[in-house]
Amino acid sequence: MLNITALTKMDLTYLQNHLPEDLKDAVSLAQFPTAEEAGDRLASTDILLTSGAFQDDWLPLLPKLRWFQSLSAGVDKLPLKKLDERGIQVTNMSGVHSIQMSEYALSVMLDFVRRSHTLMESQSLKEWNHRIRTAELHGQTLGLIGTGAIGSEVARKAKAFDMKVVGYSRSGRDREHFDDMRKGKSGLYSLLRESDFVVVIVPATRETENLIGAEELALMKPSAFLVNMARGSVIDETALIEALRKGILAGAALDVFREEPLPADSPLWGMEQAALTPHIAGNTPKYVERCAEILFPNIRRFIENKPLINRIDPEHGY
Residue 265 CB contacts under 8 Å (≥ 6 apart), including other chains: none
Pairwise CA distance, residues 179 & 165, whole Å: 5
Three-class secondary structure of residue 197 per DSSP: strand
Strand 67-70 to 47-50 pairing: parallel
Residue 74 CB contacts under 8 Å (≥ 6 apart), including other chains: 52, 92, 203, 204, 231
Pairwise CA distance, residues 49 & 18, whole Å: 16
Cβ pair 155, 163 in contact under 8 A: no
Q: Which of 97, 153, 231, 237 is catalytic?
A: 231
Q: Is 206 considered catalytic here? A: no
Pairwise CA distance, residues 258 & 237, whole Å: 7
Residue 133 CB contacts under 8 Å (≥ 6 apart), including other chains: 115
Pairwise CA distance, residues 213 & 91, whole Å: 30
Q: Which of 86, 114, 258, 279 is catalytic?
A: 279
Q: Which of 260, 272, 289, 293 is catalytic?
A: 260
Q: Select from 250, 253, 304, 277 the least CA-distant residue to 135.
A: 250
Q: Is 293 considered catalytic here? A: no
Q: Is 260 considered catalytic here? A: yes
Where in the sequence numbering do the catalytic residues fall? 231, 260, 279
